[in-house]
């Protein structure tokens, strides 16, 4: 009797578990949840997961209690709410956030811990705003200083970009927010971004352009990736079978979802078979105009459903896409461990400030004019529009609506009180797409005259200028038109410096620029974009409260013609007839400057400090599958500071030309007190030293002698250590 009872209750239990809603069970594995959810969904419900239902959301399955995905830009903070179905602001009042420094600034810190702090803080803001996917960060390579979106990326070196993006993604995703890594791949210019076809050698594609994406997939397991607008091999990257199915999903074994860039999908068959998982923003003409449309008309909506129903595309293709989207949903929107997060917390402002302080790069400091000894000056004149202009606005999709921003002028006034006077000196107006303010020459001349007049009675000038987020400055959907700074800044700085030799220049911008006035000024800092705490971070560095430790993630050339692709003409940038050829091959950025002995204005990895550091003799040894390098750094100056030691490898000679130096490791010291030392231990996995062989379509580790050049920047090598590695 008892046995029979047991048998019956076991049967009931089995029946219960087969109908139990495993997909809702947070204790079940994500793969079990996907399988169960999929088995309950109709074809139409699966299709609904694969395309937008509004500007920034894709649907879930309301009948089953499967949540939708809420997305938002990225990557420097949560974008303001837009209307459900247009690019117009929704005019909410609770969506003001902290603007974090630009990703170029983060890269300049060379501090992996700060990258993690960034990912944590920004994702907490996304979580609190009810988002699941943050559209960012970006790791396209800064191939040209003209690129309007370079500020959203992490510089010119794939190793640095890869190393810096991994902690960001890990920290964000640990909070239950998916990163959407941008823009896969070769989206390295904004001119013709919707149509340009990029021609690049297989070697450069793998070693330079794909490398940071690969690291983000393999080491950070990024949950989503955004396909780019441009084409490769004549096919849009949002549904490029070879790139997405071949490289991302098969070769790299990536289990995430590929999201199209907004309006980057152009064809149902290609989208269906080319690896796209979520189609967003279709029928928006590059954000310029809206047209009447129905989300059901998206390429991956009704047209795709029809092909499935007619048996022209197998159900397995749909199931695979739906599974990938469900995986994202269970990892984020329906993740029981997703954090609640917070918005505009003091901790977030602190993270913002610290990243800014470590990302500011001191490029020149004659006679140690910095840190500023304010007691020496009676009247400090601040000149320049960027001292007051909001640099969190503009720029395109990364534009942010902030709760509070501290401008450079405000922070200088707080610190130096009524010693500070201000003259705008120039103006730039507003330029958004085709709405470009005409510059009135008379107004410009009057602003200049006022600044020059005030300069006569000042005993220190702080010029705050650079680029801004206007169209054709640092802004999406357009590239810069000149390597020079605009709005008469070069002439203005030169004239100011003639009047007052104590001139300090503070520049903002995501790109390098020419500096014809450099010899005339005493000091120069480059600040990228610093977000909400811009002024505080800047003044902390200028005043010496913080010792600068940022280093350039990009080469500043003396003149535009020195950039590697320029000599190849328009074909190599911005392209001819919508074809661009990356003729400089592997020799992007410093790989060109150091291999071809072109002297940059400021080399990759460069950045001054208020203190000095001595490097001990580096050591190298091979341990298992890695090469370990160590070096002892000693603070030999008078102020506590941090140093970034960089390791550039010279690989054994190959038939194909290789750069003479390639960044393969770096580490940043803790804050070292005067006289204090720290031994930095860096490990380079052998796979990091592999080179791409075109004949083999794969990677090889070369046998021979490897030299590891350890230094303070690519041109300031302080010690070398070599090792022989057998093939
Ligand atoms: C940009 C993306 C952005 C998207 C949504 C596109 O134009 O290229 O980076 O995430 O718009 O705003």
Instruction: Give the residue whose CA is nearest to atom 2 of ligand 1.
Output: 261
264 alpha carbon – ligand 1 mean position (Å): 10
Which range marks the domain in which residue 665 is found? 612-725
pLDDT for 6:
45
Q: Whose CA is nearest to atom 11 of ligand 1?
A: 262
Q: Are residues 312 and 368 in the same domain?
A: no
Task: Look at ligand 1, atom 3, and give the residue with the nearest C-alpha.
Answer: 397
3-state secondary structure of 706: strand
Instruction: Let me know whether 61 and 185 are in one domain.
Output: yes
> What percent of the chain has pLDDT above 90?
93
Active site residues: 261
Cα 13–chain centre separation? 51
Nearest-atom index, ligand 1, CA of 228: 8
Site to probe by mutation for ligand 1, drawn from 54, 73, 126 as the one with most ligand atoms within 8 Å of Cβ, is 73
Nearest alpha carbon to residue 594 among 583, 605, 584, 603: 603
Mutate which of 148, 283, 476 for ligand 1? The one with the most ligand atoms within 8 Å of its CB, which is 476
Residue 353 lies in a domain: no
Rounded to the nearest angstrom, the distance between the alpha carbon of 266 and the centre of ligand 1 is: 16
List pLDDT tens digits, range 520-538: 999 999 999 999 999 999 9
> Within the chain, which residues score under 70 in pLDDT?
1-18, 284-293
374 and 320 share one domain: no
Contacts with 8 (C-beta within 8 Å, 6 or more apart), sequence order: none
User: Rounded CA gap, 337 and 72, in Å?
Assistant: 20
Residues in contact with ligand 1 (CB, 6 Å cut-off): 73, 135, 182, 261-262, 397
276 and 421, same domain (yes or no): no
Looking at the CA of residue 74, tell me the nearest atom of ligand 1. 10
Which residues touch 358 (CB under 8 Å, ≥6 apart)?
108, 109, 111, 114, 549, 550, 642
Cα–Cα distance measured from residue 497 to residue 364, given in angstroms and rounded to the nearest whole number: 15
Residue 681 DSSP SS3: strand
Query: How much distance in Å is there from the Cα of 465 to the middle of ligand 1?
Result: 27
Is the same domain home to 391 and 508?
yes
**What is the SS3 assignment for 72?**
strand
Residue 138 in domain: yes
Other beta carbons less than 10 A from residue 588's beta carbon: 26
Question: How many angstroms does the Cα of residue 150 sit away from the middle of ligand 1?
Answer: 14
What is the distance, to the nearest Å, from the Cα of residue 270 to the centroid of all Cα atoms in its chain? 28
CA-to-CA distance for 319 and 325, rounded, in angstroms? Answer: 10
Note the pLDDT of residue 645. Answer: 98
Task: Report the domain count for the chain.
Answer: 3
- In 10 A of CB 432, how many CB atoms? 18
Q: Are residues 320 and 408 in the same domain?
A: no
Which residues have a Cβ under 8 Å from the Cβ of 442 and sit 6 or more positions away?
A: none
CA distance 515 to 513: 6
Residue 174 Cα, ligand 1 centroid: separation in angstroms? 24
Cis peptide preceding 574, ω within 30 of 0 = yes
Residue 551 dihedral angles phi and psi, to the nearest 5°: -135, 145
Helices 30-40 and 315-331, packing angle to 10 deg: 130
Atom of ligand 1 nearest to the CA of 187: 8
| 323 and 365 both lie in a single domain | no
Q: What is the pLDDT of residues 576-628, one digit of tens each?
A: 999 999 999 999 999 999 999 999 999 999 999 999 999 999 999 999 999 99
A 10 A CB-CB count for 21 gives 13
- Of the residues 52, 396, 433, 478, which should be mutated to test ligand 1's pocket, given the most ligand atoms within 8 Å of the CB? 396
CA distance 367 to 361: 17
Q: Is 288 exposed, middle or buried (0-12, 13-18, 19+ CB in 10 A)?
A: exposed
Reduce the secondary structure of 630-654 to three states and give it as a string. Answer: EEEEEECCCCCECCEEEEEEECCCC
Q: Beta-carbon neighbour count of residue 662 at 10 Å?
A: 25
Contact, 46 vs 63, CB < 8 A?
A: no
The pTM (predicted TM-score) of the whole model is 0.96
- In a domain? residue 346: no
* 182/263 same-domain check: yes
Angle at which helix 112-128 crosses helix 346-359, to 10 degrees, equals 150
Q: How far is the CA of 260 from the centre of ligand 1 (A)?
A: 9
Q: How far is CA 244 from the centre of its chain?
A: 21
In a domain, 24, yes or no: no
Query: Has residue 326 been placed in a domain?
Result: yes
Nearest-CA residue for ligand 1 atom 8 is 261
Instruction: Provide the sign of the torsion angle of the four alpha carbons 246, 247, 248, 254, taken in this order.
Output: positive
Last-in-domain residue among 536, 554, 572: 554
- Evaluate whether residue 378 is within a structural domain: yes
Domain-located, residue 581 = no
Q: Whose CA is nearest to atom 7 of ligand 1?
A: 262
Report phi then psi at 358, rounded to 5. -85, -15
**Integer CA distances (angstroms), 312 to 242, 275, 307, 317, in order:** 21, 16, 5, 11
Helix (H, G, I), strand (E, B) or coil at 617: coil
Q: Rounded to 5 degrees, what angle do the CA atoms 338, 339, 342 make?
A: 145
User: What gap in Å lies between CA 338 and CA 649, rounded to an integer?
Assistant: 41
Give the position, in ligand 1's atom list, of the atom nearest the Cα of 182.
9
Q: What is the CATH number of the domain that holds 643?
A: 2.60.40.10
Of 87, 138, 186, 262, the residue with max ligand 1 atoms within 8 A of its CB, to mutate for a pocket test, comes to 262
Where among 509, 529, 554 does a domain terminate? 554
Q: Measuring from atom 4 of ligand 1, which residue has the nearest CA? A: 262
Beta bridge partners of 635: 613
Within a domain: 320: yes
3-class SS letters over 162-231: HHHHHHHHHHHHHCCCEEEEEEECCCCCCCCCCCCEEECCHHHHHHHHCHHHHHHHHHHCCCEEEECCCE
Classify residue 316 by burial, with Cβ atoms within 10 Å: 0-12, 13-18, 19+: exposed
**Look-up of token digits 């959407």:** 180
Distance 172 CA to ligand 1 centre (A): 19
Q: Are both 153 and 231 inside the same structural domain?
A: yes
State the closest ligand 1 atom to the C-alpha of 79, by its place in the atom list counted from 1: 12
Q: What is the rounded CA–CA span in Å between residue 337 and residue 558?
A: 50
Q: Are residues 549 and 616 in the same domain?
A: no
Contacts of 2 (CB under 8 A, 6+ apart): none
* For ligand 1, atom 6: residue with the closest CA: 262
Both tokens assigned to 328: 């994202």
CATH number at 185 reads 3.20.20.300
**Cα(376) to centroid of ligand 1, in Å?**
48
Q: Which atom of ligand 1 is nearest to the CA of 286?
A: 7
- Ligand 1 atom nearest to CA at 229: 8
For 634-688, the pLDDT digits (tens) are 999 999 999 999 999 999 998 889 999 999 999 999 999 999 999 999 999 999 9
> CA dihedral defined by 420, 423, 427, 430, rounded to 10 degrees?
40
Burial class (CB in 10 A: 0-12, 13-18, 19+), 644: buried
Of 554, 573, 598, the position where a domain reaches its end is 554
Q: Is the same domain home to 321 and 206?
A: yes
d(CA 211, CA 692): 11
Shared domain for 99 and 215, answered yes or no, is yes
Alpha-carbon torsion, ordered 702, 703, 707, 708, to 10 deg: 60
């Amino acid at each position: 009797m008892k046995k029979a009872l047991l048998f019956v209750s076991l049967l009931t239990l089995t029946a219960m578990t087969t109908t139990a809603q495993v997909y809702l069970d947070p204790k079940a594995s994500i793969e079990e949840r996907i399988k169960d959810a999929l088995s309950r969904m109709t074809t139409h419900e699966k299709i609904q997961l694969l395309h937008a239902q509004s500007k920034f959301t894709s649907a879930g399955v309301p009948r089953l209690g499967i949540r939708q995905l809420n997305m938002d830009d990225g990557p420097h903070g949560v974008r303001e709410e837009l209307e459900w179905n247009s690019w117009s602001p929704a005019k909410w009042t609770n969506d003001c956030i902290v603007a974090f420094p630009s990703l170029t600034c983060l890269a300049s810190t060379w501090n992996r811990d700060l990258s993690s702090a960034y990912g944590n803080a920004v994702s907490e803001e996304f979580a609190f705003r009810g988002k699941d996917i943050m559209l960012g960060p970006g790791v396209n390579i800064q191939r040209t200083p003209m690129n309007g979106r370079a500020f959203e990326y992490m510089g010119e070196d794939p190793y640095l970009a890869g190393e810096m993006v991994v902690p960001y993604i890990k920290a964000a995703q640990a909070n239950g927010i998916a990163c959407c890594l941008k823009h896969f791949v070769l989206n390295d210019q904004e001119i013709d971004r919707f149509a340009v076809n990029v021609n690049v050698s297989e070697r450069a594609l793998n070693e330079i352009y794909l490398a940071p994406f690969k690291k983000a997939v393999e080491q950070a397991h990024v949950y989503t990736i955004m396909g780019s607008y441009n084409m490769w091999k004549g096919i849009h990257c949002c549904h490029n079978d070879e790139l997405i199915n071949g490289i991302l999903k098969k070769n790299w074994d990536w289990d995430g979802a590929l999201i199209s860039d907004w309006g980057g999908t152009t064809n149902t068959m290609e989208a269906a078979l080319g690896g796209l998982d979520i189609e967003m923003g279709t029928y928006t003409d590059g954000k310029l105009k809206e047209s009447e449309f129905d989300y059901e008309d998206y390429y991956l909506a009704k047209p795709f459903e029809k092909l499935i129903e007619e048996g022209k595309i197998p159900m397995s293709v749909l199931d695979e896409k739906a599974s990938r989207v469900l995986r994202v949903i269970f990892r984020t929107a329906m993740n029981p461990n997703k954090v609640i997060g917070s918005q505009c917390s003091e901790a977030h402002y602190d993270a913002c400030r610290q990243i800014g302080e470590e990302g500011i790069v001191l490029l020149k400091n004659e006679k140690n004019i910095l840190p500023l000894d304010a007691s020496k000056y009676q009247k400090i004149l601040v000149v320049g529009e960027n001292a007051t202009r909001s640099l969190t606005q503009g720029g395109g999709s990364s534009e942010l609506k902030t709760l509070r921003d501290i401008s450079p002028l405000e922070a200088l006034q707080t610190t130096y009180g009524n010693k500070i006077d201000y003259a705008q000196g120039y103006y730039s107006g507003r330029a958004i797409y085709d709405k470009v303010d005409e510059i009135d020459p008379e107004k410009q001349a009057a602003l200049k005259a006022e600044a020059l007049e005030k300069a006569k009675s000042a005993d220190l000038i702080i010029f705050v200028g650079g680029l801004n987020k206007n169209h054709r400055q640092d802004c999406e959907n357009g590239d810069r038109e000149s390597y020079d700074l605009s709005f008469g800044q070069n002439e203005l700085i030169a004239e100011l410096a003639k009047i007052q030799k104590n001139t300090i220049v503070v520049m903002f911008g995501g790109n390098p620029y020419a500096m014809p006035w450099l010899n005339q000024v005493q000091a120069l800092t480059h600040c990228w974009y610093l977000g909400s705490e811009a002024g505080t971070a800047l003044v902390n560095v200028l005043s010496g409260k913080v010792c600068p430790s940022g280093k350039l993630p990009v080469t500043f050339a003396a003149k535009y013609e020195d950039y590697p692709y320029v000599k190849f003409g328009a074909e190599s940038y911005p392209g001819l007839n919508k074809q661009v050829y990356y003729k400089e091959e592997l020799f992007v950025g410093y790989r060109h400057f150091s291999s071809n002995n072109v002297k940059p204005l400021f080399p990759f990895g460069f950045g001054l400090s208020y203190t000095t550091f001595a490097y001990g003799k580096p050591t190298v040894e091979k341990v298992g599958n890695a090469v370990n390098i160590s070096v002892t750094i000693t603070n030999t100056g008078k102020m506590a500071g941090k140093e970034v030691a960089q390791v550039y490898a010279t690989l054994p000679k190959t038939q194909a030309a290789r750069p003479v130096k390639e960044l393969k490791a770096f580490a940043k010291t803790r804050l070292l007190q005067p006289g204090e030392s720290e031994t930095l231990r860096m490990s380079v996995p052998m796979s990091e030293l592999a080179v791409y062989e075109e004949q083999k379509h794969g990677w090889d580790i070369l046998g021979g002698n490897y030299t590891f050049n350890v230094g303070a920047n690519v041109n300031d090598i302080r010690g070398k250590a070599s090792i022989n590695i057998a093939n």
